[in-house]
């Protein structure tokens, strides 16, 4: 593990947490994030994703550092889906914070964490959690990694948490670790989005993703999304600049196969 | 022998089953599906070595450890292959099994397999990292027990949602198909868990619906030609007597195996972009 460049406050009281994960592809070592995000409201904090199992101690240190300073309790965790790099850390958090509520699609968790089955609370699109001055709202998961994926966004920032949507690696060798997408000016977003889609989102190789990316644009418009905080990509703070390149990358594997 | 162990081949291959009643809380099944299914971990073994494919959910940990100890000597060198390293059902008991049996290696698409499964206790056990991880890239051949001459082939699943392996055991002619061919659902928990004759309930409509309502929602209007070719390659490359899925009933017999592959091929052909218009599929859209 590299020494993390996180946490980073990307918007006031919204912290980007986690650490990089090495990914090897065609002889190159890429880095990708397995990010979590901490939203600190006026009376409650909510953690989005529980990080890669290997990163738990680092992630927990980051959270403790922030919440002890803010004097706000961690009350909620939202998980985008049941894959272990997103939700594997749940059991560790519940051991330390047995009263934390885990929200999201709750399939499988009663089998994976049987000692904590009462902590899991099902959410559906439109359900919300009040954090005090901020509200976390479940949203349609347009690009899914499981049948059970669920996205969310936080108002009033209108920052979207799309889980495996907007997944792309970054160049460690160019110092991109800890940067938001717009700061990583040597990052070829089309390339890294396409590589990630080809490797980790198998289905996007076979589906005309224009159908899904059009829906993504609709969702962004409908919810007036202004920022995007992906689990595996760098946070996007300028949608107009960055989203088109990621979308092009998402469509690339299908076009490659079609040609 | 403990309950719900099926000896698929005498002293060579076993299914360790835990039966669950479907109630809409298992991501591998459609949310409106009821009935009963076995969750299957598989053990293949020789005198001096064994492989375990998937380790089950923590919920079943005690039973899985008992089942395993009833068919495997604790000193036998054991290798673990989680067929889907990112899923709880595949990795839930990898740590507990490593603590209770003579685990000598892991197989994973990522280096350092314990980084991917060591999250089920309060603390990590970094000593698990001493057990080597063998990388799964392309087709990997492994020998079950040194010098036995019995090989298994680990292949990348030709149709998958997330990173998934299928395994073919040359000696028993079993294909371990992970999350494919999972639609053998029972109406009661007392049914036979192996199907060896044509089941009239398993129709093209049922299987199509099952695929689209689970992890293959994206197939409608997809380019399925390459998927079909790759699935056919698996069928043509291996002499398969039995399909052993990670969930659901097991299919036994060459003719029944052939039927399942033909059914899948037929459905994928129907769903191809040349026959079906692609459209956005929202979460929980059932058809």
For residue A259, what pLDDT is reported?
Answer: 75
pLDDT tens sequence across B72-109: 999 999 999 999 999 999 999 999 999 999 999 999 99
Burial-class residue B171 by CB neighbours within 10 Å (0-12, 13-18, 19+): middle
Asked if the model's pLDDT at residue A26 lies above 80, the reply is no
Judged by CB atoms closer than 8 Å, whether chains meet at A108 and B88 is answered as yes
In a mutagenesis test of the A interface, which of B86, B223, B268, B281 is the best target, namely the one with the most A β-carbons within 10 Å? B86
pLDDT tens sequence across A48-84: 999 888 889 999 999 999 999 999 999 999 999 999 9
Residue of A nearest to B89 (CA): A112
Residue of A nearest to B23 (CA): A107
B76 in Cβ contact with B87 (< 8 Å): no
State the average pLDDT for chain A: 92
Write a three-state SS string for A13-35.
CEEEECCEEEEEECCEEEEEECC
Residue of A nearest to B18 (CA): A111
Interface size between A and B, measured as CB pairs under 8 A: 121
Cα-trace Rg, chain A: 17
- Give the DSSP letter string of A55-68: GHHHHHHHHHHHHH
Asked if the model's pLDDT at residue A251 lies above 50, the reply is yes
Residue of A nearest to B120 (CA): A91
| A196 — pLDDT class (breaks 50, 70, 90) | confident
Residues from chain A that touch B227, judged by Cβ atoms under 8 A, are 206
Question: How many domains in chain B?
Answer: 1
Helix (H, G, I), strand (E, B) or coil at B3: coil
For the CA atoms of A162, A165, A166, A167, the dihedral, rounded to the nearest 10 degrees, stands at: 110
A107 and chain B in contact, CB less than 8 A: yes
Q: Which residues contact B31 (CB under 8 A, 6 or more apart)?
A: B24, B213, B284, B286
Helix (H, G, I), strand (E, B) or coil at B183: coil
For residue A96, what pLDDT is reported?
Answer: 94
State the average pLDDT for chain B: 96
Looking at residue A114, what DSSP letter applies? G
The mean pLDDT of A221-235, rounded to a whole number, is 96
For residue A4, what pLDDT is reported?
Answer: 67
Judged by CB atoms closer than 8 Å, whether chains meet at A112 and B115 is answered as no
The mean pLDDT of B22-36, rounded to a whole number, is 96
Tell me if the bond preceding A87 is cis, omega within 30° of 0. no
Residue B269 C-alpha from the chain's centroid:
24
Helix (H, G, I), strand (E, B) or coil at B52: strand
Judged by CB atoms closer than 8 Å, whether chains meet at B162 and A108 is answered as no
Spatial separation of the C-alpha atoms in residues B118 and B98, rounded to whole Å: 11
Reference B29, options B166, B202, B183, B161; nearest CA is B183
Position B63 in a domain: yes
For residue A3, what pLDDT is reported?
Answer: 57
| A253 — pLDDT class (breaks 50, 70, 90) | confident
The mean pLDDT of A144-165, rounded to a whole number, is 96
Judged by CB atoms closer than 8 Å, whether chains meet at A146 and B124 is answered as no
For the CA atoms of A146, A223, A213, A109, the dihedral, rounded to the nearest 10 degrees, stands at: -10
Spatial separation of the C-alpha atoms in residues B165 and B192, rounded to whole Å: 26
Asked if the model's pLDDT at residue B123 lies above 80, the reply is yes
Q: Which residues contact A258 (CB under 8 A, 6 or more apart)?
A: B223
Q: Which residues contact A93 (CB under 8 A, 6 or more apart)?
A: A47, A50, A60, A74, A77, A100
B223 and chain A in contact, CB less than 8 A: yes
Query: Domain extents for chain A?
Result: 9-258
Judged by CB atoms closer than 8 Å, whether chains meet at A108 and B226 is answered as no
Judged by CB atoms closer than 8 Å, whether chains meet at B57 and A88 is answered as no
Helix (H, G, I), strand (E, B) or coil at A159: strand
Reference A16, options A161, A145, A152, A137; nearest CA is A161
Position B278 in a domain: no
**Closest by Cβ to B215, choosing from A56, A142, A147:** A147
A256 and chain B in contact, CB less than 8 A: no
For residue A1, what pLDDT is reported?
Answer: 43
A85 and chain B in contact, CB less than 8 A: yes
B214 and chain A in contact, CB less than 8 A: yes
Give the closest-approach CA distance of A142 to chain B in angstroms. Answer: 7
Spatial separation of the C-alpha atoms in residues B208 and B95, rounded to whole Å: 36
A54 and chain B in contact, CB less than 8 A: yes
Give the closest-approach CA distance of A144 to chain B in angstroms. Answer: 9
- Does pTM surpass 0.80? yes
Looking at residue B116, what DSSP letter applies? H
CATH number at residue B213: 3.60.15.10
Spatial separation of the C-alpha atoms in residues A53 and B237, rounded to whole Å: 37
For residue B101, what pLDDT is reported?
Answer: 98
For residue A2, what pLDDT is reported?
Answer: 47
Spatial separation of the C-alpha atoms in residues A110 and A75, rounded to whole Å: 20
Residues from chain B that touch A141, judged by Cβ atoms under 8 A, are 283
pLDDT tens sequence across B150-188: 999 999 999 999 999 999 999 999 999 999 999 999 999
A2 and chain B in contact, CB less than 8 A: no
pLDDT tens sequence across A91-136: 999 999 999 999 999 999 999 999 999 999 999 999 999 999 999 9
In a mutagenesis test of the A interface, which of B162, B210, B215 is the best target, namely the one with the most A β-carbons within 10 Å? B162
Judged by CB atoms closer than 8 Å, whether chains meet at A111 and B60 is answered as yes
Cα-trace Rg, chain B: 18
Spatial separation of the C-alpha atoms in residues B91 and B113, rounded to whole Å: 10
In a mutagenesis test of the B interface, which of A25, A147, A222, A253 is the best target, namely the one with the most B β-carbons within 10 Å? A147
Asked if the model's pLDDT at residue B122 lies above 90, the reply is no
Q: Which of B 110-149 lie inside 8 A of A, CB atoms?
A: 112, 115-122, 124
The mean pLDDT of B178-205, rounded to a whole number, is 95
B221 and chain A in contact, CB less than 8 A: yes
For the CA atoms of A10, A11, A15, A20, the dihedral, rounded to the nearest 10 degrees, stands at: -20
Q: Alpha helices, DSSP H only, in B118-159? A: none
B45 and chain A in contact, CB less than 8 A: no
The H or E element that residue A220 is part of is helix A210-222
Helix (H, G, I), strand (E, B) or coil at A48: strand
B92 and chain A in contact, CB less than 8 A: yes
A258 and chain B in contact, CB less than 8 A: yes
Q: What is the CATH number of domain A9-258?
A: 3.60.15.10
Range(s) of the domain holding residue B196:
5-271
Judged by CB atoms closer than 8 Å, whether chains meet at B89 and A258 is answered as no
A101 beta partners: A76
A108 and chain B in contact, CB less than 8 A: yes
A227 in Cβ contact with A161 (< 8 Å): no
The mean pLDDT of B230-254, rounded to a whole number, is 98
């Amino acid at each position: 593990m590299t020494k993390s460049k996180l946490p980073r406050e990307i918007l006031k009281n919204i912290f980007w947490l986690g650490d990089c994960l090495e990914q090897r592809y065609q002889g190159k070592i890429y880095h990708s994030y397995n990010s979590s995000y901490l939203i600190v409201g006026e009376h409650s904090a909510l953690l989005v994703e529980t990080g890669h199992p290997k990163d738990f101690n680092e992630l927990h240190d980051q959270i403790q550092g922030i919440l002890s300073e803010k004097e706000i309790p961690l009350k909620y965790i939202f998980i985008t889906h049941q894959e272990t790099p997103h939700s594997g850390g749940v059991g560790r958090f519940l051991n330390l914070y047995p009263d934390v509520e885990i929200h999201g699609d709750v399939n499988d968790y009663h089998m994976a964490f049987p000692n904590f089955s009462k902590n899991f609370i099902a959410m559906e699109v439109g359900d919300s959690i009040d954090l005090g001055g901020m509200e976390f709202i479940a949203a349609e998961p347009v690009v899914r990694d499981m049948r059970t994926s669920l996205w969310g966004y936080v108002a009033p920032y209108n920052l979207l948490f799309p889980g495996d949507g907007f997944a792309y690696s970054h160049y460690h060798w160019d110092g991109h670790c800890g940067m938001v997408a717009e700061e990583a000016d040597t990052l070829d977003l089309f390339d890294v989005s396409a590589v990630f889609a080809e490797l980790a989102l198998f289905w996007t190789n076979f589906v005309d993703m224009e159908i899904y990316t059009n829906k993504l644009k609709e969702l962004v418009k409908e919810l007036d999304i202004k920022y995007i905080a992906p689990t595996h990509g760098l946070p996007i703070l300028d949608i107009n600049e960055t989203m088109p390149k990621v979308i092009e990358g998402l469509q690339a594997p299908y076009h490659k196969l079609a040609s | 022998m403990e309950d719900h162990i099926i000896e698929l081949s005498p002293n060579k291959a076993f299914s360790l089953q835990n039966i669950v009643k479907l109630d809409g809380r298992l991501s591998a099944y459609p949310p409106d599906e009821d009935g009963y299914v076995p969750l299957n971990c598989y053990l293949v073994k020789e005198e001096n070595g064994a492989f375990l494919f998937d380790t089950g959910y923590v919920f079943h940990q005690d039973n899985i450890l008992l089942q395993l100890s009833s068919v495997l000597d604790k000193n036998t060198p054991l290798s673990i292959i989680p067929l889907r390293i990112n899923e709880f059902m595949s990795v839930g008991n990898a740590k507990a099994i490593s603590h209770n049996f003579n685990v000598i290696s892991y197989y994973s698409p990522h280096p350092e397999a314990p980084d991917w499964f060591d999250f089920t206790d309060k603390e990590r056990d970094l000593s698990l990292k001493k057990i080597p991880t063998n990388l799964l890239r392309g087709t990997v051949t492994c020998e079950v027990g040194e010098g036995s001459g019995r090989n298994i082939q680990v292949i990348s699943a030709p149709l998958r949602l997330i990173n998934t392996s299928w395994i073919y055991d040359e000696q028993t002619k079993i294909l371990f198909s992970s999350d494919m061919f999972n639609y053998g659902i029972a109406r009661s928990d007392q049914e036979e868990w192996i199907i060896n004759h044509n089941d009239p309930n398993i129709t093209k409509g049922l299987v199509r619906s099952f695929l689209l309502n689970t992890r293959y929602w994206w197939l409608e209007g997809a380019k399925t030609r390459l998927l079909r070719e790759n699935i056919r390659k698996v069928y043509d490359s291996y002499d398969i007597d039995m399909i052993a899925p990670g969930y659901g009933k097991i299919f036994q017999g060459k003719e029944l195996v052939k039927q399942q592959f033909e059914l899948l091929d037929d459905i994928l052909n129907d769903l191809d972009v040349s026959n079906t218009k692609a459209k956005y599929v929202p979460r929980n859209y059932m058809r």
